[in-house]
């Protein structure tokens, strides 16, 4: 089944009914209308306002009995957007209970076992997410084929083992040179 919104009811249902939600993110920028104002505030040195989507995500995590885990493969040096995400988006999700890890990758390289495509796993369902080259959401395919789910689970497990907890990454990079307000 193909959906054209990351907030589609079909995805929301999967996330609220799952026991485990694992996400792999590989893009270095996500172009969303919901984040644009907050990101612009960050770039101008202001404290970014929380985004409605970020607040809804944190509430979903907090209210759900599921275990939420994220691996974000980030290229270094970090882009402005990734610094924003690490310092102003992920802390709220982590405080709500999402286990966030970072897989640092030197620019121009990519670790072989990790594919460069975002996906979510909700128990035995794969949500393969497609973005444009500019990071804009295009669609997601909700798939239940055993082999596809097993392959994605193996990719996520390898990435999880290779990644480090968000707090360790932030300590290692002294807060990633964030705008401190």
- Give pTM, 2 decimals: 0.90
Q: What is the mean pLDDT of the chain?
A: 89
Let me know: does 57 contact 68? Beta carbons within 8 Å. no
Domain residues for the domain of 64 are 2-177
Query: Mind listing the pLDDT tens digit for each residue in 110-146?
Result: 887 788 889 999 999 999 998 877 788 888 999 998 9
Q: How many domains, in total, are found in the chain?
A: 1
Q: How do beta strands 67-76 and 137-143 pair? A: unpaired
pLDDT at site 179: 36
CATH number assigned to the domain comprising residue 136:
3.30.870.10
């Amino acid at each position: 089944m193909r959906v054209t919104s990351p907030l589609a009811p079909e995805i929301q249902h999967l996330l609220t009914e799952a026991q485990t939600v694992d996400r792999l993110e590989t893009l270095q920028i996500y172009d969303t209308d919901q984040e644009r104002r907050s990101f612009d505030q960050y770039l101008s040195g202001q404290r970014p306002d929380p985004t409605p989507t970020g607040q809804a995500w944190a509430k979903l995590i907090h209210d759900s009995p599921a275990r939420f885990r994220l691996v974000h493969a980030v290229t270094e040096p970090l882009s402005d957007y990734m610094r924003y995400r690490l310092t102003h988006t992920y802390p709220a999700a982590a405080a709500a209970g999402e286990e966030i890890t970072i897989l640092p990758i030197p620019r121009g390289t990519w670790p072989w076992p990790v594919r460069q495509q975002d996906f979510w796993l909700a128990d035995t369902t794969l949500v393969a997410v497609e973005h444009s080259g500019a990071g804009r959401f295009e669609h997601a395919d909700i798939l239940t084929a055993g082999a596809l789910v097993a392959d994605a689970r193996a990719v996520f497990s390898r990435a999880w083992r290779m990644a480090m907890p968000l707090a360790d990454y932030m300590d290692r990079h002294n807060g990633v040179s964030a705008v401190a307000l």
